Structure 1
Amino acid sequence: MTTFQHLDIPTLADWLDARHALALVDIRDPHSFEHGHIPGSRRLDNDTVGAFIDEAPRELPLVVVCYHGHSSQQAAAWLAGQGFAEVYSLDGGFTDWQLRHPDRVER
């Protein structure tokens, strides 16, 4: 069974600082995303996931972000099953990211 890995906030911050090639998707609702998201992230929902799967490079690490790191686990597991090589669920989600990195939130 294809599965995902957990990613902590400090590691994601390090990867972004190092300009590590990755895909960052945010599965929160449009209103929440509009009011703040991790720079470089793309909102993903049932309407956009098909296009994302068609165009996203499977070899890049894929990081899934939700509110608190719970629903991103199901989404990460599903995306791993779609052929992405390295899929991560961000532990603590956007809520924890915003607490630790208020200066690194794009609106």
Structure 2
Amino acid sequence: MINFGMVSWIILIVVLLVWGGFWLYSYLLRKNNATMISQEDFQQTMHSAQVVDIREANEFNSAHILGARNVPYSTLQQGVPGFNKTQPIYLYADMHNLTGRVAKKLREAGYEDIYILEGGMSDWKGKVKRAN
């Protein structure tokens, strides 16, 4: 006879382990391939960096950090465009798991100064360009 209470606990534990593993993987991608940067530091130094929004075009077009360039994650899957290797790259999106993947791809392509905005676009308090 199947004990559905036990099965429910097993399913819950498996889901938590998978979620925890995904979170750890995303964290390690970010930690090993980029430096997290606070909003304050981002705002103070973004004028000397390449600010890259990796969200899809429709998200970028609705609102983005003023001065950012849109290079969607889906585009980066086909290859890394020619960024300037002498300037830092500041990445942001809504989810950190995407920025970690992009940072890894950039690191593998020879880029070294890679930063990820803490909190991403969803926590951004600076200037934003919005669609009309």
* C-alpha deviation, 1:50, in angstroms: 6.4
Change in CA separation of 1:14 and 1:42 when aligned onto 2, cut-off 3 Å: same
2:123 counterpart letter in structure 1: D
Moved over 4 A (4+): 48-52
* Aligned 8 A contact 1:72 1:90 in 2: no
* C-alpha deviation, 1:51, in angstroms: 7.9
User: Given the two structures, how large is their TM-score scaled by the length of structure 2?
Assistant: 0.64
1:106 is paired with a residue of what secondary structure?
strand
* C-alpha deviation, 1:39, in angstroms: 1.1
**Within the alignment, does 1:13 sit opposite 2:43 as a pair?**
yes
Larger radius of gyration: 2
1:53 maps to: 81
Change in CA separation of 1:57 and 1:78 when aligned onto 2, cut-off 3 Å: same
Distance 1:27 1:43 in 2: 6
2:90 counterpart letter in structure 1: V
* C-alpha deviation, 1:68, in angstroms: 3.8
User: Given the two structures, how large is their TM-score scaled by the length of structure 1?
Assistant: 0.78
Distance 2:105 2:76 in 1: 15
* C-alpha deviation, 1:69, in angstroms: 3.1
Relative contact order (C-alpha < 8 Å, sep 6+): which is higher? 1
1:37 is paired with a residue of what secondary structure?
strand
Task: Structure 1 unaligned segments of length 5 or more: list them.
Answer: none
Task: Structure 2 unaligned segments of length 5 or more: list them.
Answer: 1-31
Number of aligned positions between the proteins: 98
* C-alpha deviation, 1:49, in angstroms: 7.2
1:88 is paired with a residue of what secondary structure?
strand
**Within the alignment, does 1:62 sit opposite 2:89 as a pair?**
yes
Pick the structure with more helix per residue.
2
1:89 counterpart letter in structure 2: I
Identity %: 21
* Aligned 8 A contact 1:4 1:86 in 2: yes
